C-alpha cells in the first residue's frame, strides 16, 4: 500500500499500459471504499465498470472528442453514478431511524441533492483507495450526461455523476504536476 504522500503526489493519468486489472482488486477497492461515511449512511454510489471493447465503444459517442483516446487507453472506465432511489436501501443501511426514508422518498430535490453529494464523496474515496493500492486514475468530465444515461442507465434510477479511467500509468505519460491553490487562497478560519 502506498503512503498518503505517495497517493496525493499522483496526478490524473491520461495514458495507460495495456495491463489488465483483476476483478478481485476492484472488489478490494470497493470493500474499503464502502466504509467511508455518507449522510444517513445513504451509500448512493453505483459503479459500472466498462472493460470490454464492445461496452467502451458505446461510450465513445457520449464523450468530447479529446476524451476518446483516454478511454481507449484505459483497461477500465468506471461510470460513477448515483441512485436517486438510494433510500430504498435505508431499511438495511439506517435501520435505527426508518422515518428518514420518507424524508427522501417524499422530496425528489432532497433525494437528488443527497445522492449527488454523497456519491461524489464515495467516488473520491474509491479514487484514493485505488491509488493507495497501486492503480492510476483519470477522473473526467467532458461527456454528455444525457447520452451516458440513455446508453447505460435507461431503465434504472441511476444517473451518471462522472467518469474515471483506471489502470497502470504508461511510462511516457509524464508532464509536471500542475499548481494547486495554497491554504490561504481558498480557506478561512472564522
Query: For 132-181, what is each residue's pLDDT tens digit?
Result: 999 999 999 999 999 999 999 999 999 999 999 999 998 876 667 788 89
Q: Tell me which of 3.40.109.10, 3.50.30.30, 3.40.50.1860, 3.30.420.40 is the CATH number of domain 4-172.
A: 3.40.109.10
Q: Quick one: cell of 148?
A: 451516458
pLDDT at residue 182 is higher than 80:
yes
CA dihedral over 138, 141, 142, 143, signed as positive or negative: positive
pLDDT at residue 15 is higher than 60:
yes
What is the distance between the alpha carbons of residues 14 and 181, in angstroms, rounded to a whole number?
A: 22
Q: Which residues, in sequence order, are bridge partners of residue 190?
A: none
Average pLDDT value over all residues in the chain:
93
Backbone angles phi, psi at 154, to 5 degrees: -55, -40
Q: Which residues, in sequence order, are bridge partners of residue 134?
A: none
**pLDDT tier at 7, thresholds 50, 70, 90:** low
Amino acid at each position: 500500500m502506498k503512503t498518503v504522500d505517495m497517493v496525493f503526489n499522483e496526478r490524473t493519468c491520461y495514458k495507460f499500459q495495456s495491463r489488465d486489472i483483476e476483478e478481485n482488486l476492484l472488489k478490494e477497492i470497493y470493500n474499503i471504499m464502502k466504509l467511508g461515511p455518507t449522510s444517513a449512511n445513504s451509500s448512493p454510489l453505483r459503479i459500472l465498470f466498462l472493460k470490454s471493447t464492445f461496452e467502451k465503444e458505446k461510450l465513445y459517442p457520449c464523450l468530447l472528442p479529446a476524451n476518446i483516446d483516454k478511454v481507449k487507453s484505459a483497461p477500465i472506465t468506471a461510470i460513477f453514478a448515483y441512485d436517486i432511489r438510494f433510500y430504498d436501501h435505508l431499511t438495511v443501511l439506517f435501520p435505527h431511524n426508518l422515518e428518514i426514508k420518507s424524508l427522501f422518498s417524499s422530496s425528489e430535490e432532497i433525494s437528488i441533492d443527497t445522492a449527488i453529494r454523497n456519491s461524489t464523496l464515495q467516488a473520491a474515496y474509491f479514487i484514493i483507495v485505488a491509488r493507495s493500492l497501486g492503480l492510476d486514475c483519470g477522473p473526467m468530465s467532458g461527456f454528455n450526461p444525457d447520452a451516458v444515461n440513455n446508453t447505460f442507465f435507461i431503465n434504472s434510477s441511476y444517473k451518471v455523476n462522472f467518469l474515471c479511467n483506471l489502470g497502470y500509468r504508461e511510462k511516457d505519460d509524464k508532464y509536471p504536476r500542475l499548481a494547486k491553490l495554497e491554504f490561504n487562497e481558498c480557506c478561512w478560519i472564522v
